Each structure stands twice: as structure tokens, then as C-alpha cells.
Structure 1
Amino acid sequence: MTGSYTMLIADLIGVAVFAASGAGAAVAKRLDLFGVGFVGFVAALGGGILRDLVIGAVPPLAFSDWRYAVTAVCASVAVFYLHPQLSRLRRTVLVLDAAGLGLFTVSGTIKALDAGVPAVGACLVGMLTGIGGGLARDLLTGEIPAVLQRDIYAVVALGGAAAVTVLTWLDLAGPLPMASAAAAMIGVRLLALYRRWSAPVAVP
């Protein structure tokens, strides 16, 4: 199995997980089948679309490669019909969501650097790739984005993007260092969930 094929499979798994997350939020808001599919699609691919538009990679991969869109829609439709059973798998979805965050942040940062985006900008692009879909999901379902009010989520993505940028600057952008950066993000995210860490909130 080639490295590019492995990355494609990992990408599609992440797309399916984020689509399931978005579809689950849409089901909770009692949206119809189209609404569930649309929110799932945006949650899964919104970050990648934003990344591609920022770095000038048009049309975005979500539109130029049919496998991404089909995966997102199929996962969303599956959640629409199977949500009572899937509600029991919340912990598993959270773990996979953390994995998707790490993977998408790494890939987004690398693509930004390869496109010639300066270091600070690449970190921001990488963070937005990881959290963009969740932001869009919450806005579409009428919620204040979770990444802005609780959970160590965006901070994890930004820190991971910075680590990827530093590793690239040190000429250590091989598969193992990048996998280590993704694993570190996954670990911190899961630890934050377990310990209920959150960013400071202003006291009125």
C-alpha cells in the first residue's frame, strides 16, 4: 500500500467521522434528511474547503475528488437512519474525532507550507483545517461554536500546527515526525476531555 493511498484512506476515515459528528448534531436539532446530509457534508469538508481556498488550490479537493463528498454524504445518511444505535458509541466517536483533528491539522499545515504560506499563516491554516468544519456545524445548527466557549480543541490544533511548522523548518517533515505530531494532538485532546480542561473564561 503506497503512502499516498494510506493518506487517502486516513483522510476518508476522518471525513466520515466528522460527517457523523455534524449529522448527529443535525439530528438532535430535528432537521430533515437533506439538512442532516448538508450539515454532515459541511462539518466533514468545511475545513478542507477553507484551506484550499486560502492557499489557492481550486477547485477545492472536496469538489474535485468525488470520494470525499460521497463519503461525507453516506456517513451522514447512515447517522440519520441509525442514530439510536450510534448514540451508544459516543466515546468511540470522540476518540475518532480527536484522531481526525490531529490528522487534518497536520495535513492542512503541510499543504499550506508546500503552497508557500509563511510559518504563522501556515499555523493558522492548519488550525482552521482541523476546526473549520466544527465551527460551520455549530453555526448551521444555531449554536455558539464549541471551540470558542469550552474544550481544549482549537488550542490543541494551533499547538499541533506550530509543531508541524517547526519540524518542517528543522527538515524533519518525514512520516514519523508528522505522525508523532498528530499522535500528540490526539493524546492532549483526549486527556483534556478526560480531565475536563477548558480555556479560561472572563468573569462578569
Structure 2
Amino acid sequence: MVQLADESVNWFGDWSLSGSFTTIDLIAAATGALNGALLARRPSHYRNYTIVGVLLMAVLGGISGSVTRDLLVNEVPAALMNPAYIVFSLVAGIVGYLIAFKPGQLFREGLFELVTSASLAWFAIVGAQKGIRVGLPMIGVLLLAVVASTAGRYLIDLTSGVPPKLFVRGEWYVGTALLAAVVWVICDAAGLNVWVCAGIAFVVAYTTRVVAMYRGWEEPLPKEPPGVHQRDDGRPRLGPKLKGKSEQELRALGLLPEEHPDTDEGKPRNDRNDRR
């Protein structure tokens, strides 16, 4: 016979903002949710999402990493026990919804990329921290960190019908998560304070990815057969994105003026011939 628990409903959950792991995890959730809201408004991912849809994308970006991480180590997800995770995600989602576009309806691509870099690093740090806490071997710690940092983006990409970011060419997306995890593990093994470990790992990983975006360093593609040339997608570097001069972004938004308006095959019309 199945016995039902006598526990009453816990209406407000176990609110907690303190504790090194919880605080860092909430920072990761907030940056992930902000990233999710911005991503839902990005021209490459926008699919006529409603305001509720954007906020749900923010929640996906905010808690998917921590939920997946905790389930993999056979724990009740902290994001479901502590209401602060969802509240922080919703607040960050509202912020992302409000600031996604600059005046003139230009998407804040530079801000989005910077928030993505921050989210990757924070989720990788708490993933590595959780792996060490439960006694995983090094390879398990690194895998947990990568899964935690990419789960939210993976779900949002699939929902939007876009190839998941971690599988396609980019500025060391998975590499950033791995780097943050490795640096955190090394600092932790050296006996440094938790916040010192997190700070060093974040700065190293975040700086590396931002520099990679400025310099155009990308993960290598497979070697092509003779005579086959890989297509250059023309992705602009971070510098033009921050300055709001990304031609690709303007074209995607329909804001790029026609190159030859009122012309015939690219040549100006001859008014004198028209009058004849």
C-alpha cells in the first residue's frame, strides 16, 4: 500500500540568498535568465514570442543549468526548492525584455554577447563546485560544468528552431566553460577561498572569451575534402557589435538601406532619356 506523506504544503519554499554556493548559483541564474530573455528577442531566435514567452525563455535560461546539474548528481534541484531562483530569473527576464533594443530598434548584440560570456563562466563554476562536492572524478567534474553552462542555451536554441550553439562554429563557447571549470578546480585544490576561486575562474574565462570575440578566434571546423571550401558566415566581431555597426545585424532587422535605390541594374537613371 502506498502511504501518503503527512507533510503540509510548503507555500513559500526554503528562501535562501546566503552561502557561497547558493549566492554564486543565484548569480549564474540571474545572468542566464538575462541572457535567455535577450536571446528570445534576438532576430535570429525571435519567433513571435509573447511577453510571457520571453519570460519563460528567461526562466529556461536561468534554471535549466542548475536543474540539469542537480538531477545528474541525483539531488532535488535547488531551483525548485528555493523560490529565489525563479524570482531572480523572472526579474532578470523583465530587465532583458526592456533593454533588448537600442533607440532605433537596433538589437543590443554587444550586450548580449557579454552577458553570454558571463553566464557561461558562472554556470561552469557552480557546476565544477557541485562536482567536487559530490566526489566526481575530474572528467565528471568538467562534464558537469559544461552541461550546466550550456543546458539553458541548448533548450532555447531547440525551441527557436536554431542549431544549438555548443555544436556550431563560435568563439570558444564550450571552451570557455571548460576553462572556467579547470581554473576553479586548480584554485580550489590550492586551498584558496571559495570566492577567490570563483573570482579568478570568472575573470580568466570571461576575459578569454571577450578577447576571442574581439579577435575573431573561433573553434576549428573539420578539415574539408580537396576542392571543398567552407562557407564564411560573415559573423561580425565584438567591436562592431558594441559600436552598433554590425551590417549583418542591420540586414537581419531590415534596417539596412537599399544599395541602389531608384536605379536600373545598379546604374542611375538618365532623366533626359526619360523625357524623350
TM-score band w.r.t. shorter chain: 0.7 to 0.9
Pair 1:84–1:109, CA change in 2 (3 A): same
Which region of structure 1 is more displaced relative to structure 2, 4-13 or 107-116? 4-13
The one-letter code of the counterpart of 1:104 is F
Select between 114-123 and 160-169 the one with higher mean Cα deviation. Answer: 160-169
Q: Could you tell me how far apart the structure 2 residues matched to 1:83 and 1:89 are? A: 6
Give the match's secondary structure for 2:96.
Answer: helix
Q: How does 1:1-204 map to 2 (within 5 A)?
A: 4=18, 8=22, 10-27=24-41, 28-58=46-76, 60-85=77-102, 89-151=108-170, 152-172=172-192, 174-202=194-222, 203=224
TM-score by length of 2: 0.64
After superposition, the CA RMSD in angstroms is 2.6
- Residue 72 of structure 1 aligns with an amino acid whose one-letter code is S
> Any runs of at least 4 consecutive aligned residues in structure 1 with deviations exceeding 6 A, and if so which?
none
- Deviation track 1:5-57 (CA, whole Å, cap 9, x = no partner) reads 57655543432332232223323222123322222211121111110001122
Return the TM-score normalized by structure 1.
Answer: 0.84
Q: Is the 8 A contact 2:101 2:108 kept in 1?
A: no
User: Higher relative contact order at CA 8 Å, sep ≥6: structure 1 or structure 2?
Assistant: 1
Aligned 8 A contact 1:55 1:117 in 2: no
CA contact (8 A) 1:108 1:129 kept: yes
Give yes or no for contact 1:47–1:133 (8 Å, CA) kept in 2. Answer: yes
Contact 2:180–2:205 (CA<8 Å) still a contact in 1?
yes
Alpha-carbon shift at residue 176 of structure 1 (Å): 2.0
Residue 112 of structure 1, CA deviation: 1.2
Greater Cα offset, 96-105 or 79-88: 79-88
Q: Which runs of 5+ in 2 are unaligned?
A: 1-16, 229-276
Q: Is 1:123–1:165's contact at 8 Å kept on the other side of the alignment?
A: no
In the TM superposition, residue 117 of structure 1 has moved relative to its aligned partner by: 1.4
Say how many residue pairs are matched: 201
| Unaligned runs of at least 5 residues, structure 1 | none
SS at match of 1:143: coil
Q: 1:160 to 1:142 in 2, by over 3 A?
A: same
Query: Where is the helix percentage greater, Structure 1 or Structure 2?
Result: 1
- Post-superposition offset of 1:150: 2.0
Q: Secondary structure at the match of 2:101?
A: helix
Amino acid corresponding to residue 25 of structure 1 in structure 2: L
Q: Which moved more, 1:137-146 or 1:34-43?
A: 34-43
